Structure 1
């Protein structure tokens, strides 16, 4: 499954935080605001009451004779998304504090390996970062920051659980399929709401129409349409995709097109662009992966871990 689908939430949080929430998050170790306050209404009070002088208002949009100010946008964003963004910002700070307290670090090698697992869904590293930039407005450093946060959360979660060597060996023995070489299918598709539309597009493809162009024009899948239907490289047993679709595509030769296949979103026309088999994991890597899976299964949920960290570091929200 393409990682940028998950990253879209991260981008929303970042964007809203940058626009609306600077200065609203307070954690125990942050300097506390002065209790003294001028009797004169502040600019913030005026913003909330819609009383900013016109020459002070930063207009970000207009429609007809109506104008929308940055202050109005900020207030609306905060009202609808403030709680979510505040929590995200506090969790990030709590992760950093806990990692420092436990001496937990993310090495450059770990970053490289995790990034490579994300990039593996794409044709190349260049394509990966191009999509991150064009579709998610994330540069390389922002992607690295999100990778690091994920790895930190995993490590902190795993530190809360003790796993024995015998448990690790038993897990490897009982789940050999997880450590075998993986078959990856590089696919693209066109998703339509009706079989009739798919049949029409299949006929156009048979007559020489360009697959990518049809995907951009007609596919209703928002995550792939702009990429000409490119789904990236998907494991043949990926649980996020329809089993019938993957099995049917796995039996094809590169370049072949099949469909329509009925899926949850409607009907899909699929083209196999390529197929590859990954290398087997070394014994050391198998043990590392088994330890990680056992610890994450035995540990609290991510929500619970975050709640515990926020409580530990006395997170406080003032509005």
Structure 2
């Protein structure tokens, strides 16, 4: 998946999160009549109804547009009998895991949600390029020139605890061996504030990752899932790393990525962004904000 497609997935997820929040808030509002006070400022108050009205004013159109886009893709995919193969969805998900070192932190969506977004993105690309003609030679040449794009590197999902001195690291190791929680100790004493708030979780990293010492990977390769090792000398001090999971490296063959390359070349030739908006008219969209042609 290219950078543009990745950003589309992330943007879709952000919209989906906004929608989820609005949905549950609206359910609560229906139950309470919307008069519940959510904040007081001296003698003034803000009700849940006021709050939801402001959310709708600021984000309502974007959230509704995201919902419409998803339904447009589903509608036209059914109309044209277009499907996204599970193997393609799995490949894109695997690549995202291996190349996004903040992936799988607790505030990230579940695997199911990620795959739903990836599937929607693939269906959209298929719809946009369904009539495009790309020669076998073009596809093969692209693959030969860009083989590295279809290599999923071996990746390790790690957590770490970073402390200032080796003595502190040895003390932390001792406490871990005595049964203390790695997550709790990371939140309590790790000086890496970003990961400390996540219980030490730093996501998936590879041997090519420049954010962390290569010794992290060297140590991780010796660990079983759930085990920890160290201390490791870092620029900040000393680290203890824990192996949370692993993705084996994989190289995808031409046959496996042929269709993906066809779509990519077609989109570039058409100079068409991977957006559902041009498809609204074909799907006969009529929405709250007016004429679709004017809105687009």
TM (normalized to structure 1)? 0.60
In 1, Cα distance between equivalents of 2:214 and 2:44: 54
Partner residue, 2:52: 74
In 2, Cα distance between equivalents of 1:139 and 1:178: 22
Number of aligned residue pairs: give it: 257
Q: Secondary structure at the match of 1:14?
A: helix
The reply on whether 1:84 has 2:62 as its aligned counterpart is: yes
Q: CA deviation at 1:97?
A: 2.9
The reply on whether 1:96 has 2:71 as its aligned counterpart is: no
Q: Is the 8 A contact 1:90 1:315 kept in 2?
A: no
Q: Is the 8 A contact 2:213 2:234 kept in 1?
A: no
Task: List aligned pairs for 1:178-257, cutoff 5 A.
Answer: 178-180=149-151, 182-189=153-160, 200=164, 203-209=167-173, 210=176, 212-217=183-188, 218=190, 219-221=192-194, 224-225=195-196, 227-237=198-208, 243=210, 245=212, 247=214, 249-252=216-219, 254=222, 255-257=229-231
Q: CA deviation at 1:243?
A: 2.3
- Go from structure 1 to structure 2 and tell me whether the alpha carbon gap of 1:155 and 1:206 turns closer, same or farther (over 3 Å shift): farther
- Go from structure 1 to structure 2 and tell me whether the alpha carbon gap of 1:306 and 1:251 turns closer, same or farther (over 3 Å shift): same
User: Which string of whole-angstrom CA distances, capped at 9 and with x for unpartnered residues, describes residues 92-131 of structure 1?
Assistant: 2222233234321234555555556667799xxxxx9xx7
The reply on whether 1:294 has 2:258 as its aligned counterpart is: no
Partner residue, 1:154: 125
- Go from structure 1 to structure 2 and tell me whether the alpha carbon gap of 1:212 and 1:105 turns closer, same or farther (over 3 Å shift): same
- Go from structure 1 to structure 2 and tell me whether the alpha carbon gap of 1:80 and 1:175 turns closer, same or farther (over 3 Å shift): same
In 2, Cα distance between equivalents of 1:102 and 1:256: 55
Task: List aligned pairs for 1:1-319, cutoff 5 A.
Answer: 6=10, 9-18=14-23, 56-59=33-36, 61-63=38-40, 68-108=46-86, 110-111=88-89, 135=107, 140=112, 142=113, 145-159=116-130, 161-180=132-151, 182-189=153-160, 200=164, 203-209=167-173, 210=176, 212-217=183-188, 218=190, 219-221=192-194, 224-225=195-196, 227-237=198-208, 243=210, 245=212, 247=214, 249-252=216-219, 254=222, 255-261=229-235, 269=239, 271=241, 273=243, 277-295=248-266, 297-298=268-269, 299-302=271-274, 305-310=275-280, 312=282, 313-318=284-289
Q: Is the 8 A contact 1:104 1:155 kept in 2?
A: yes
User: Which string of whole-angstrom CA distances, capped at 9 and with x for unpartnered residues, describes residues 159-210 of structure 1?
Assistant: 36432211111122212333456232333345xxxxxxx6526652233355
Partner residue, 1:35: none
Partner residue, 2:226: none
Q: Which moved more, 1:164-173 or 1:86-95?
A: 86-95
In 2, Cα distance between equivalents of 1:317 and 1:17: 17
- Alpha-carbon RMSD: 4.4
In 1, Cα distance between equivalents of 2:147 and 2:241: 31
In 2, Cα distance between equivalents of 1:310 and 1:216: 48
